[in-house]
Structure formats: C-alpha cells, structure tokens
Amino acid sequence: MKKRLFAFIVVIAMLMVSAGCGAKTASWGNLVIPKGGEVKIGVSSALSAGYAVYGQDMLNGVNLAIEKFGGSLKGFKVVAVGGDDQCEGAPGVTVAEQFSADPAILGVVGPMCSGSIVPAEDIYGKNHILMITPSGTAVIVTAKGFENVFRTIPNDDKQAEVGVDYLSKSLNVKTLAVVHDSSIYGQGIAEAVQTKFTAAGGKVSSFQGVTRGDTDFSAVVSSVLAGKPDAVYWGGMDAEAALLVNQLQKGGFKGIFFGPDGIKSKPSYVDASGGSAEGSYMTFGAATGASGYDEFLAAFKAKYNGDPVAYGPGSYDDAMFMLKAADAVGKVDANGNLVVDRKALVDYLRANAWVGVTGRFVFDKVGDPTVVTLTVFKVVNGEIVPQKEYKFGA
Amino acid sequence: MNGNGQLVVFLEQLLNGITVGSFYALVALGYTMVYGVLSMINFAHGDIFMVGAYIGFFTINRLTDVGLTASNPTLAIILTFLTGSLGAAVVGVTVERIAYRPLRKATRLASLISAIGASIFLEELVRLIPTIATAIINIKIGGAAILAPQTRQAILKIVGDMGGAMVKTYPGILSNDGFVIGGLFVSYSRILIVLISAVIMVVLYTLVRITKLGKAMRAVAEDKDTASLMGINVNQVITRTFFIGSALAGLAGVMVGMFYLQIKPTMGFVPGIKAFTSAVLGGIGNIPGAMIGGYVLGLAEVISILFLPAVYKDVVAFVILILVLIFKPTGILGSATSQKKM
C-alpha cells in the first residue's frame, strides 16, 4: 500500500514538473513540409447556402494572392483549401479541427463570421495556427488575447460609431428601430448602435432579434413600423437583409434602411431584394494607405470574370501577408524540407507594417489594425456607391 | 401609442398570420391527404415544396428570356404557377412510386425512413445539379471537349437555374404597392397569395366531397381492401392523391418564391415541419382540419410577437405541437374515427 502511495506521489510530481517545463519552454512548433510537398492556406468561410457569395469571394481573393505571389513558397507549391464553416459556430469548429490536424496548413484566412471565430479561435490558439480574418468584426474576436489571431478590418464598435454618426448627423434620423439576427456579430453591432444612438440624443423605438435563415419577417416588420421610425438599422447578414428590406416596403415603410459590412454585397443583398435595397446604406471597413488596388481589381476581373463582392480584397491581403511573412522567416533545411517556425511567423507579422490593396496595416498586441478607415456606402441605381469616409487612429 | 394605433398593429399582425397560414395550410394539405389514404407521414413533402419553387424559378427565368414577363406578366405568373405545381406533382408521384410503393406491405417504420431518405435525396439533388451538369458537359473524348465553349456556357446558365448551393432570387414580379385602409397598409401581393390559397382550398374540398375521385379517395382512406373489392383501383387513387398533394406544395413553393424572392435547397425543411404541425393541429387525415391548423399556427406565431421576442416564433409553433400531441392527439377536428375518413 505504501509503495503504491509512493508511486502515485512520484507520478504526480513528475506530471507537475513536466507541466512546468512545458510552460517555460513554450514552443509553438514548426510547420514542416517535406521535400516536394505542398503548403496549404486554409480558408474558413461560408461556401454553401445563404452567405456563400461572401465565402466564395474570400476563396477567390486567396487564390489570386497565391497566383500573384508566384504560386510557390521557397520552391514549395502553395494551394488554398476551402472549409465550409457556414458562418456558424459548430461547423466553424469542425473546420478549425480539420485545419489544425493538417500538418501542411501554414495559416488560416478567416473564419468569415464572428460567430465562427469565437469558438474556432480557441482551437487555432491551442494549436498555434496563424489566423487572419478579413471580415470578423465583433469586438470579442480579438478580446480573448490570442497572439496568433489577427484581423484586417475595423471592429464593430467603430462601425457602430460611424453608422450612428452618419444616421444622426448626415441623414438627420431622430427615431431608429434596430433589428438583428441574434448572432454574435449581428446582435453585437445592434447593441452597440442602440447604445450609441441613444447617447447621441436619438430615440430607439424598438430593438428586436429574429432568427437566421427565416424567410417571413412580416410580424417583426409590423411591430417595427408601429414605432414609426425614420430609419431601420439591421445588425446581420445579406440574405436576411434582402428579405427584411423587401418586407419592410411591402409593409409600407418609406424610411432609411441601414446596415453593417455584412450586407455590402451586390448579388446577395442588392440584387436579391427585388429592387427594395435601392437607397439603403451600409458601412464597410478598410485601412488607409492602400496600394495597388487598381491592378488587383484588373487581375481579379480577368481571373473571375466579375468584381469582388466584399471580402475578396481583404482575403487577398491576408493571404499575401501570410505568404510574405512565411517567406521571410521560413527556411529550407539540409534535407530539403521547408521549415517555418510558427511563433516567428506570428512575431514577424506583428513586428512589421504591411501594405496591401485594402490599406496599410500595423497590428497591435491583440491583432487589431491600429489605423483604419470606414466608408459609408449607398445603393444608387443598383450599385454600391461610397458616400463618406471616416478615419480612426490616423 | 394610442388605442387606434394598437388596433392597426393587431390587424396588421392578423393579416401577416393569415398570409403565413396560407402557406402552411397549402403544404399541410399534402401531409394530411397522404396520411388519409396511406396512414404514413410523407416527410419528403417539404422538399416537394422546394422542388416546386425551383421549377417555378426555372420557368419564370425562361419566360423572362423570351420577353413574356415584360410583355404579359399575368400570363407569365399563371404559367409559372402551372409548371411549378405540375412539376412538383410529377416529382411527388415519382417519389411515391420509387420510395413508398415497394414498402407498402412493410412495417410503417420502413416507409417513414424511406421518406426521410427521399427528403435528403431531393435536397442534395437540387443542391448538386449544377455540379453534376458541369462535370458531364466537361467530359472530354480523345482530348477534345464534346461541346463548343459557347454551348457549354449556355447550358451552364440554364442548368444554374435548376439548383446549386447558393440562394437564388426570383425576379421581383409582384409589386410592393398596396393600399391603405384605416391606417392599415395592405399590399396587393399579399391579397393575391391569400385569395389564390383560399380558392384552391375550396376547390380541393369540393373535389374530395362531390367528385368520383374524391369518393374513391375517401373509400381508400376508410379501408383499402374493401375499396379494392368494390372495384376501386387503389394504386391509381394513391397516385392521384400524391399528385394533388404535391401540386399544392409546388404551388406554395412558387408563391413563396414570388412573395419572399429567395429560394434555396434547404428551404423546405422548416415549412415542412410547420405544415406537419398544422396538419397534426387540425387533426391529421382531415382536410378542413389541415386548413384550419395552418391558419391557427400562422396566427399563433405572429400573435406571439405581440407578447414575446420574435426569436421565440418557432418555439411557440413547436410548443403548440407538443401540447396538441399530449392533450388532444387527434387534433382540432380529428376524432378517433374520423381520422381516416378525410
């Protein structure tokens, strides 16, 4: 009995020591690609159902970046791998687990939606996989403090600030109704807009959540319109926005419809609304100091036979930064294998300034861009046209 | 808000409920009719509704291509409704033939599982049609493609209207306009939806009550073997029941497309479950019951918004289903015997 107890104590002690050692020499490990192998960039986005227009746009952006980079990293072929996270938490986690289990994944562009990022970043964080999202705007995305998480888009706090400023000052809206899709992203920005609009002296006539994927919003429309708002702010994505704006008009609404970056899509919002999106507004974030956008646009059009929708340019930048950083810190060892130190990759990304087609990015310690621009857009004759720019941190 | 304003909101919600209820009722009829003759739940029915929406979408785009939507929108709408419901009817009959008829003598569980399989098959088929078509037309024989690039482009454009993972958008053919009556805004499209549904339901009810086919359907519902001995072709009656039920679902699918604009391969699931709830609520197997169940469910959902947050809409619907199943499993109009009489 005594022997057993002793053995037990020894085992516990060894475990404690080994755990302590592990913490001290926290190595993130290396990406090792054997000679002749492929380097993969994971793209976690919605590739089916309602929000697939954005997801495909991201994949297109990454593929173009790989092509422009020359198709290979230190002689190793680079490919993009799409993972369908459906803009939801659970599939986002599945994709994160697949990507983390794949030893050839250099890093991940995405996930597309804050709702996927929040659970998925725990997995990417644990496995030390570099993650850059061109679209995850919820404040909480970078609030967990993971070193490997970056984003190249301003957060929703700034987006709400811009939306409220434009609504109350430029559009002179006094009464606002807020509707959201009950997602981490949609509800988050809707709450920020509600708080800021009230603080700016406006009146929020109603604040309501609906269910994603629903098609009939008529009951919500009726209760929203009962408050006689000058404008309706939508916190959510394109597919529901197109239905909501259409049903608002069917319900007799003549006011302003305003939304965040999730509705900046010509095919899946403007065209999908049956004309009702005409005259509505949205905000979209970028950074200042962009360079080479026109060449990017020409190349994109030539390759995909159409304009980027929303996050294509951002995804292009994310993949490009990832490849450039990997090119700087990666080495080919004596056996001809490609070795990239995962920690060095992240440190290099944070230590340098990056100029892309959506802006010049310097990342702070949680991975947020320090200098950003937000633009208010309006739908005019079926096209999304910029109206006013707001700069932060300049 | 004054009392009058509240009244207007209440009336508006009633109108919303009746519109949604019309969709539920149309789809619920298919569930209830099939249950009436076969005592089985056709869980692929929601997907027949989706197929109808896609066939309608395909039709209206071809009509737009030839310019009919612009020159004669009424005719285009009628043609779209016709092809949507006929197409759905054909698919419904085919599903019965392939997935249910061989299992008619098997346990009830077998056909239920087969129905779920048919549902998944239809959903995935619609989602994959463009992928499959692309693979087929890109087949190369001896290094050369069979079709010229232009032909391939043209085929892909047309096939793209038949399905795919992305959301498709109906052309906005119904106007958003309407009229105001006592502060209540009523859109024309809403009236159209409610009227068409009401007319169809009256026609169906009459059909089942007075025509020979209706009599045969009721006889089969009562007792298949005896009906067969009386000279009724049971298989034919079942086929016709599926035809009518699926046509109604297809019609509802086209209506949803025209009214809400967006369609997707998964669009049949939730309305399917809601319509099933309506059928159970009204008393499954009972035709007027399905209609009443649909309207009651639609109204319950929108009225709940006056008291509860909008996200609880589905919760309300399914709580009703559970309560009905616990306290009155035979539904509003159903009784232990009339269950099988239609």
DSSP 8-state symbol, B90: H
User: Residues A22-68: pLDDT tens digits?
Assistant: 444 458 889 999 999 999 999 999 988 778 889 999 999 999 999 99
Phi, psi of B171 (to 5 degrees): -65, 140
Stretch (H or E) spanning A267 = none
Which residues, 6 or more positions from A79, have their beta carbon under 8 angstroms from its beta carbon?
A: A38, A39, A40, A41, A66
User: Residues B29-71: pLDDT tens digits?
Assistant: 999 999 988 888 999 999 999 999 999 999 999 999 998 888 9
Give the 3-state secondary structure of residue B337. coil
Could you tell me which CATH class the domain A157-284+376-392 is placed in?
alpha beta
Q: Write out chain A residues lying below 8 Å of B167, CB-based.
A: 49-50, 52, 239, 268, 272
Looking at A278-282, A354-358, B82-86, B130-134, which range is the least confident one? B130-134
| Token pair of A240 as six digits | 């529901």
Domain A33-154+289-363 falls in which CATH fold? Answer: Rossmann fold (3.40.50)
Task: Give the closest residue to A41 by CA, choosing from A135, A158, A129, A169.
Answer: A129
pLDDT band at B1 (very low <50, low <70, confident <90, very high): very low
Q: Where are the domains of chain A?
A: 33-154+289-363, 157-284+376-392
HSE at residue B56, side-chain half, CA atoms within 13 A, is 37
| Token pair of A164 as six digits | 């409220």
Residue A97's pLDDT is what? 96
* pTM for the whole structure: 0.84
Residue A319's pLDDT is what? 97
Report chain B's mean pLDDT, rounded to a whole number.
88
Q: Are B30 and B289 in contact (CB under 8 A)?
A: no
Looking at A242-251, A322-331, B240-249, which range is the least confident one? A242-251
Give the mean model confidence (pLDDT) for residues A125-143. 94
Q: Which residue has the tokens 């209540």?
A: B184
Would you call B16 an interface residue with chain A, using a CB distance cutoff of 8 Å? Answer: yes
pLDDT band at A20 (very low <50, low <70, confident <90, very high): very low
Q: Where are the domains of chain B?
A: 3-341
Residue A274's pLDDT is what? 85
Residue B330's pLDDT is what? 87
Residue B337's pLDDT is what? 46
Please check whether the two domains, A33-154+289-363 and A157-284+376-392, share a CATH topology. Answer: yes
* Strands A105-109, A130-133: pairing kind: parallel
* Strands A256-259, A281-286: pairing kind: parallel
CB-CB neighbours of B206 under 10 Å: 11
User: Residues A240-288: pLDDT tens digits?
Assistant: 999 999 999 888 899 999 999 999 999 889 988 988 999 999 999 877 7
**Residue numbers of A between 242 and 301 with CB closer than 8 Å to B:** 242-243, 246-247, 249-252, 268, 271-276
Q: Which residue has the tokens 């007792």?
A: B223
Among A220, A243, A271, the residue with its CB nearest the CB of B310 is A220
pLDDT band at B342 (very low <50, low <70, confident <90, very high): low
Give the 3-state secondary structure of residue A65. helix
Residue B227's pLDDT is what? 92
Q: Are A152 and A142 in contact (CB under 8 A)?
A: no
| Token pair of B310 as six digits | 């909008």
Residues in chain B: 342
CATH of domain B3-341: 1.10.3470
Q: How many CB pairs under 8 A join A and B?
A: 113
Q: Is the pLDDT of residue B341 over 80?
A: no
Residue B2's pLDDT is what? 47
| Token pair of B314 as six digits | 């589905």
Would you call B202 an interface residue with chain A, using a CB distance cutoff of 8 Å? Answer: no
Residue B189's pLDDT is what? 87
Would you call A336 an interface residue with chain B, using a CB distance cutoff of 8 Å? Answer: no
Give the mean model confidence (pLDDT) for residues B92-112. 92
Q: Are A124 and A149 in contact (CB under 8 A)?
A: yes
Interchain CB distance below 8 Å, B167 and A220:
no
Q: Which residue has the tokens 């027949």?
A: B48
Most confident of A7-11, A217-221, A306-310, A344-348: A344-348
